[in-house]
Chains A and B, each alone.
Chain A
Amino acid sequence: MPQLSTKNIFSKYRYWLTIATPQSVWHARFQRVYIAWLSFSKNPIAMTGLYIILSLLILAMFAPLITSGDGTSQELQNRLLAPSANHWLGTDELGRDIFDRIVWGSQITLYIVILVAIIVLPIGLLIGTVAGYIGGWVDTILMRVTDIFLAFPRLILALAFVAALGPGLDNAVLAIALTAWSPFARIARAETLTIRNSEHILAARVQGASTTRILLHHITPLCLSSVIVRLTLDMAGIILTAAALGFLGLGAQPPMPEWGAMISSGRQYLLDQWWVPTIPGIAILIVSMGFNLLGDGLRDVLDPRSGEG
């Protein structure tokens, strides 16, 4: 037990965060987060991932400050310039600064990732927890549907969805979400099955809590950690699918600075101005690598059972 030192404010907080007798629920929650953070921050791989994702957030948030324009202003006399002091990453076929476009594109990447998460998490959690908690034929039907979606080729299905809905960023997000929710339902169900018969659920039931209340307040919070780990790991795949849709011309439409679409429009300059199509690809690679690293690290901290040694 660390000694309380009034001189050092940090050791005071550390004392508050590690004391063995938390005073309230929130105190205990802070402590749990802090302890998870301690083991997370010791993992260099996970921290690398965290730094990458934080940089993405900062780029997206401060895009107006970092860039000189909005990434769509054309200077046709400056087409296809090589990287230089004026244009750090060169310019594209319409004289737009590639660095600016990459920075503004980070907002689109975040938009896709957050929107897919917002759609996918509630669907997966709802289907998984309901199936696991209620069981019986509800479980059978819901899991059959989940299995069918799980068995599908994702990219092709997303392609077909976008084809029917029409190309566009929002339709691409919808198509990705429609094909990405099934693993979360599986995981939520598996977690629910292990929680369902535990004593705190029984206690809640004896007190007369409704099924909805038990699902929302007692089961869902306990499913969250493994679902979030999986979500972080899947983020890389979601970004790659979104970029692929953009590359095929089915996602974000020009002049939006979406990274996949940038690769696609720069493709014809590959042999002579190689930086035009290759640089956005590096951006995609770094971000999806960041999510993979972060997911691996989170899994080690939150879900040590499923670690891969």
Chain B
Amino acid sequence: MGLKTPLGLEGMVNKSFPPPIVGQLFRLFSSLILTFIGLTAITFIIGRVMPADPVLAIVGDRASREVYDAMYLQMGLDKPLIQQYLIYISNVVQGDFGKSIMTARDVLDDLIRFFPATLELATIATLIGVFIGVPMGVGAAVYQGQWFDHLVRVIGLFGYSVPIFWLGMVALLIFYGWLDVLPGPGRIEVFYDGVVNPVTGIILIDSALQEEWEVFWNAVDHLILPSTILATFALAYIARMTRSFMLDQLNQEYVLTARVKGLKESSVIWGHAFRNVLVQLITIIGLTYASLLEGSVLTETIFSWPGIGQYITTSLFNADMNAVIGGTVVVGICFVGINILSDALYKLADPRARGD
């Protein structure tokens, strides 16, 4: 008797040492580091090298010569570029993005204040995308070529093609301006401001914890439009990918076998085919979540949502470079982090993708 392995799985048992997961983690870590270096290099170039005069951008053109020189030395612009970059990296690692000109606070503090709103919006939008997009994609694959499939295709095309800031405006016009069934821009009605203590910064959680249900439902009302609008692209993308993954599975022979055995169609679809799609979907959902964190910039502008996207755009107009760069780095890190994490989850969950 050899090793006890399930039939046909002999090749999958890995006897090597160290276990492949160590190599995976190492690869993961190194790609994370490399991407981080790339990200900071680009933001460094954007913030320090590209502007005609970074000192002038901070002190303004009416500053005296002494102020200018002092700032020049303080920013370390007399040092070689590579040394400046190293100093910059060590600052970023310590969470020091400098001070915001606009709010006169540390950029990091600002980002911590604005981030929960973006997180709340993007999370709800992703949930909407998943809970509507996945059934839509599965249905389109099952009824391939029929009217439901075409409907999903049209919705997908719309989601891919529509300018999201325009869609948000039209939605506001219809549901707030004409029908008046949903509240206007903002995260919460003004007179509820300050009712709830910010603990996590996510109003839904805070108000539920403190049992302020009026505030909770008001926040839900305010979330409906922006999160649905933000979810449009996610929904289109998830539905499209689910459809193509499901079609791949439904054409496999094990599905035929399951049908021949006389299993119920619902069990064939959800119990057999869909379970194999699930793993691939993790990656897609991760990608979507990351892209929504970024994509919320425009939605936040339309709905006056006090999140990171709005922080970045208002800083842009006030030429507040520290804030712009800080925001870009933080969103970039989240984006890259989620991407790499979902990739790792995928490899953990699906032995076929490991490719040791």
Contacts and interface: CB of A to CB of B under 8 A. Distances in A.
Interface residues of A, number: 44
Given A164-B47, A267-B169, A157 B328 contact: yes
A229 to B, nearest CB: 15
Contact of B35 (A151, A157, A159): A151
The B interface, classified by DSSP as helix, strand, loop or mixed, is helix
A29 to B, nearest CB: 32
Contact of A164 (B50, B295, B317): B50
Given A151-B35, A163-B316, A281 B170 contact: yes
B169 A250 contact: no
Given A160-B325, A247-B298, A274-B173, A240 B163 contact: yes
B161 A249 contact: no
Interface in B277-323: 290-291, 293-295, 297-298, 301, 312-313, 316-317, 319, 321
B316 A250 contact: yes
B35 A163 contact: no
A156 B165 CA distance: 15
A159 B161 contact: no
A248 B163 contact: no
A149 B157 CA distance: 26
Contacts of B339: 151
Candidate in A160, A260, A274 with the most chain B CB atoms within 10 angstroms: A160
Contact of B313 (A248, A274, A280): A248
Contacts of B335: 151-153
Contacts of A145: 38
Contacts of B172: 270
A244 interface: yes
Contact of B331 (A153, A250, A293): A153
Contact of B332 (A152, A247, A260, A274): A152
Contacts of B312: 156, 159
A277 B165 CA distance: 11
Interface stretch (A4-12, A53-61, A129-137, A282-290): A282-290
A163 B244 contact: no
Contacts of B324: 159-160, 163
B162 interface: yes
Contact of A260 (B34, B160, B163, B167): B163
Given A156-B331, A244-B298, A292-B160, 18 more contacts: A144-B38, A148-B39, A152-B336, A153-B328, A153-B335, A155-B295, A156-B327, A156-B332, A157-B328, A159-B312, A159-B324, A161-B46, A250-B316, A263-B169, A271-B177, A281-B163, A308-B247, A309-B247
A-B pairs, top 3 by smallest CB distance, nearest first, are A281-B166, A148-B38, A153-B294
17 contacts: A148-B42, A149-B38, A153-B293, A153-B294, A153-B332, A153-B335, A156-B332, A157-B42, A157-B332, A159-B324, A160-B325, A164-B47, A236-B160, A278-B169, A284-B166, A293-B157, A309-B243
Interface of B: 31, 34-35, 38-39, 42-43, 46-47, 50-51, 144, 157-158, 160-167, 169-170, 172-173, 177, 240, 243-244, 247-248, 290-291, 293-295, 297-298, 301, 312-313, 316-317, 319, 321, 324-325, 327-328, 331-332, 335-336, 339
